[in-house]
Amino acid sequence: MLLPSSFPSIRSTSNSKQLYRRFLQHLQLIPDPHIWSILIPRYKKLLLSSGRNLLTAEELKTLQIEQDIVPPSESSKAALERARRWKRDKALKKAEKELERLRAAVACHPHALTRLIEETYGQRGVMRWDLLRKISARYSVDPLIDSLPPPLLPFRPPAAAPSEAQPRARKIVPACRIRTELKRSVERDWHHVKPPIVLPVSRNTQDEESETAPATTGWERSGIIHNLRILSGIDQAGVSQLDKLTLLDLSFLKPSIRRLFPIKCGRRLQESPLLPPRPKATRQNPHIWGLPRRLDSRLFQRTYKRFWDGLVWARPINVETAEERWKQCSYEEFQDWQDGKVIDQPVAELGQLKRPKKHKISTVNESGHLQLDKWSRATNNDKKWLSLNQTMDFVYP
């Protein structure tokens, strides 16, 4: 893991307003409404926590007088102010670190832009666990404790390879050992499962908050799929980049964020792009860093197309069973199920179906002689031997 000290030294920005202004300047080069709806509120909350609960000017004067009166010992207000200053500096350092991650993504380093997209869409990091909790809330399932809910079962990772360690020889495996292995397998499933960004919702669904409502991720009505298909170039492929921005769905954005979204003209950085860290900090992973490049429309669309191809989709199986069943499908089948065009075969009919029996091909005719045309893999010598066997009796010694 790269530490913040491994990056080139930049000018220190202690003012939260300057940090927020620089953050917006870099974010305007990534015109994705979903990323804006996630990063801007989170960064605002981080900056507000850095300047909260600080002493006013009058309290600082009173504090200075108390320090002059009692210099040997530290007063309670001085200790409180020192703790608050420490929290403020810590929050500002975290805000600067988030800004550095955004600068690395805008500078088109091979890993930074892809990781930023995956984190905001719930494919890695904290957002992934939030997405898993939203899917599991409908089934009252606790992550890392219970097994996967039905919508995540199609994406269960394959079983781990057997350990090559020599087990201890014993006749009976204790129950604690079985429970430990089961717990490890459940935790491994939760750590490696890939969640879908949206779950299918039927057009006929009216009340999404009832107990019988299907599981959702919370992004089904936000236009996230429509925007992803435009940004990845699947829909409106022949449209320019500036025209694509006017086709994006911004209805779910707050008015304060919607006014800042760049839909009229392209933006350019007003400061130098982020340079790669020093060579001594990248000895373990030198291939993931490179020289900064310009984030043009071709590179932006190619990155989103690669992300779209890696998404997973699932839909429920419409059968009358005691347990809910889901299956992995394509995006086209996902859309057809929402429109009511997919009809699954009931389980009762599946049980009544009988597989046709494979009739055994006889190589002997009614007279008891071998039929040479039934032997498809026989060579000419084999056919001669078979025909000779029908006319001659072999005498074995």
What is the rounded distance in angstroms from the CA atom of residue 253 to the CA atom of residue 329?
30
What is the longest distance spanned by two Cα atoms in the chain? 128
Question: What is the number of alpha carbons within 13 Å of residue 123 lying toward its C-beta?
Answer: 13
At 354, list the tokens.
């009988």
Find out whether 7 and 277 touch, Cβ atoms under 8 Å: yes
What is the rounded distance in angstroms from the CA atom of residue 106 to the CA atom of residue 327?
37
CB-based burial label for 95 (10 Å; 0-12, 13-18, 19+): buried
Which of 13, 40, 14 minimizes the C-alpha distance to 27?
40
What is the rounded distance in angstroms from the CA atom of residue 68 to the CA atom of residue 78?
12
Helices marked H in 75-125: 76-106, 112-120
What is the rounded distance in angstroms from the CA atom of residue 361 to the CA atom of residue 375?
10
- What is the dihedral sign for C-alpha 186, 189, 190, 195? negative
What is the rounded distance in angstroms from the CA atom of residue 248 to the CA atom of residue 32?
9
What is the rounded distance in angstroms from the CA atom of residue 221 to the CA atom of residue 252?
9
The string over 302-336, giving b where at least 16 C-beta atoms fall within 10 Å of a residue's C-beta and e elsewhere, is ebbbebbeeebbbbbbeeeeeebebeebeeebbbe
Residues 6+ apart with CB under 8 A from 333: 313, 315, 342
Cα pseudo-dihedral 289, 293, 297, 298, rounded to 10: -70
The pLDDT score that the predictor gives to residue 69 is 46
Give me the count of residues in the chain.
397
Which of 139, 270, 299 minimizes the C-alpha distance to 213?
139
The pLDDT score that the predictor gives to residue 392 is 52
Which of 373, 374, 360, 367 minimizes the C-alpha distance to 390?
367
The pLDDT score that the predictor gives to residue 80 is 77
Q: How confident is the prediction along the chain (397 residues), in pLDDT tens digits per residue?
A: 444 444 444 445 557 888 999 999 999 999 999 999 999 999 998 888 776 544 455 555 554 554 454 444 556 777 777 778 888 888 888 899 999 999 989 988 878 899 999 999 999 999 999 999 999 998 999 999 999 999 999 999 998 887 777 777 777 888 898 899 899 999 999 999 999 999 998 766 555 555 566 788 889 888 899 999 999 988 876 677 777 888 898 999 999 999 989 887 667 777 888 887 777 666 666 667 777 888 888 889 999 999 999 999 999 987 666 678 899 999 999 999 988 888 776 655 444 555 666 655 555 565 555 666 666 666 777 777 766 655 555 444 4
What is the rounded distance in angstroms from the CA atom of residue 178 to the CA atom of residue 236?
54
3-state SS class at 44: helix
3-state SS class at 261: coil
3-state SS class at 118: helix
The pLDDT score that the predictor gives to residue 277 is 75
Give the rounded distance of the alpha carbon of 139 from its chain centre.
21
